[in-house]
Amino acid sequence: MRYNLKEEPQENAEVINRITREFDERAQDDADRKIVRASDLLKRKVQEIPMLFAPVFPRKGVALFAGTSDAGKSMLLRNMAISVATGRDFLGWKFKGVHRSCIFVATEDDEDATSYLLGKHEERYGDAADDLEKLRFLFDSENIVSELDKELTLEPADLVIIDAYSDVFDGKEQNNAAQTRTFINKFKNLAGKHDCLFLFLHHTGKRTEDLAPSKNNFLGSQSLEASVRLGIELRADRSNSDLRHFCIVKGNYLGSQYKQSSFVLKMDKSFTFTETGDRVPFEDLALPNTGKNQPKGKHPEDYTKEQHLSFLRDAVQYPVSKNKMTSAIQERFGVSDQPARKFVDYYIEKEFLKAIEGGTYPVYQINEGELPF
């Protein structure tokens, strides 16, 4: 757009005022929009992803930490919370937080149990009460999102740990993809607003502990795993009760070297964990004959009912043909055409699917209304 400035001062002033108004209006239009321009992103000169514990835990977003009930998940996350509040490194990963502050939402342990467990940690590290001033616990909340929003506004935090996911999930069905995404998005918005990391404690399927660690082992909808930046599975060692395997099964910003072998941890009598420096390939953590090939789903029985339903709710929410369903199974479970067809037969036999007649060829849809779970 061109403007001709003339010799007359009054006319020049009018042109300048018009230009100023147009730029102000354009700036206001941009301010009212949610769009972010690539030029503005490039001007930030971001050289690396901001981290909480480098290089594993990002400073902002939503992460998932899952395992069996006897793995010591809550204990390890309590160690992590104390590391944030004291500014210490965690499992050898460098602390790079900003506030040295953490909120721990405890739905399973009460105040007395938490006091006892903190005392055990004090025996190991000698932290005084004042050293943990910035570690806050929330034991009871009817509206977790608004309560955390209020608390983070009053006092920022680097990390919010929620123990456990199942207790705060506000949808009707954890295997429902739409409900799961809606729930996780609330915490993504909080993470963006308050520039912190939300870490959910969750569970893996009962039968999956015999398989190799995998992001497919998490209970619930596949959209849960797809919605988080970082996914970790913790499992007990089969031969040494003091050892745990810290398995990074999903990491958007991590190289493959972090996601192929476990980090072996040792748990002592004070319920604290230390890194041993050892690593074990994921396939070696599976029972014999259930290693690399098993998670790829050579047989439908290799997966839990929850995993099958999670897949079906995502892929067969609307009527699809057998061929399209077979392709989706191949992609989801990593199998070839013939095993994928066995999955389809299995779903029909178990009445997970219902046939929709009317066309030249039958199409199938998840039998949601008839399933008793």
**Residue 12 vs residue 225, higher pLDDT:** 225
Quick check: 350 and 342 in contact, CB under 8 A? no
pLDDT score of 244 more than 90: yes
Q: What pLDDT is attached to residue 322?
A: 84
Q: Which of 46-60, 81-95, 280-294 shows the highest mean pLDDT?
A: 81-95
Closest to 312 measured CA to CA, from 349, 343, 338 = 343
Q: What pLDDT is attached to residue 216?
A: 87
Band of pLDDT at residue 294, cut at 50, 70 and 90 = very low
Q: What is the mean pLDDT of residues 213-229?
A: 86
Q: Token pair 């980090």 is at which residue?
A: 263
Backbone φ and ψ for 350, nearest 5 degrees, come out as: -80, 0
Quick check: 203 and 68 in contact, CB under 8 A? yes
Q: What pLDDT is attached to residue 373?
A: 43
Reported as a single tens digit per residue, the pLDDT across 103-118 is: 999 987 788 888 887 8
CA distance 100 to 103: 11
pLDDT score of 300 more than 90: no
pLDDT score of 36 more than 50: yes
Q: Token pair 């506030």 is at which residue?
A: 99
pLDDT score of 189 more than 60: yes
Q: What pLDDT is attached to residue 297?
A: 45
Band of pLDDT at residue 191, cut at 50, 70 and 90 = very high
Q: What pLDDT is attached to residue 138?
A: 92
Within the chain, residue ranges assigned H as helices are 9-32, 38-43, 73-86, 111-125, 144-154, 165-168, 177-194, 222-227, 305-315, 322-333, 337-349
**Residue 50 vs residue 34, higher pLDDT:** 50
pLDDT score of 180 more than 70: yes
Band of pLDDT at residue 21, cut at 50, 70 and 90 = confident
Q: What pLDDT is attached to residue 257?
A: 87
Q: What pLDDT is attached to residue 296?
A: 44
pLDDT score of 201 more than 50: yes
Reported as a single tens digit per residue, the pLDDT across 335-358 is: 777 788 888 888 888 888 888 876
Helix axes 322-333, 305-315, angle to 10 degrees: 130
Q: What pLDDT is attached to residue 149?
A: 96
Closest to 369 measured CA to CA, from 356, 355, 357, 352 = 352
Band of pLDDT at residue 89, cut at 50, 70 and 90 = very high
Q: Token pair 């456990």 is at which residue?
A: 164
CA distances from 135 to 34, 129, 131, 226, 257 (A): 34, 10, 9, 29, 32
CA distance 160 to 171: 21
Helix axes 144-154, 177-194, angle to 10 degrees: 10
Reported as a single tens digit per residue, the pLDDT across 131-173 is: 889 999 998 777 899 999 999 999 999 999 998 898 899 888 8
Reported as a single tens digit per residue, the pLDDT across 311-340 is: 888 888 788 888 888 888 877 777 777 788
Torsion of CA 67, 286, 175, 161, to 10 degrees: 20
Q: Token pair 């066309």 is at which residue?
A: 359
pLDDT score of 209 more than 90: no
CA distance 106 to 108: 6
The SS3 assignment for 75 reads helix
Q: What pLDDT is attached to residue 359?
A: 62
CA distance 283 to 290: 8
Q: What pLDDT is attached to residue 6?
A: 54
pLDDT score of 242 more than 50: yes
Band of pLDDT at residue 2, cut at 50, 70 and 90 = low
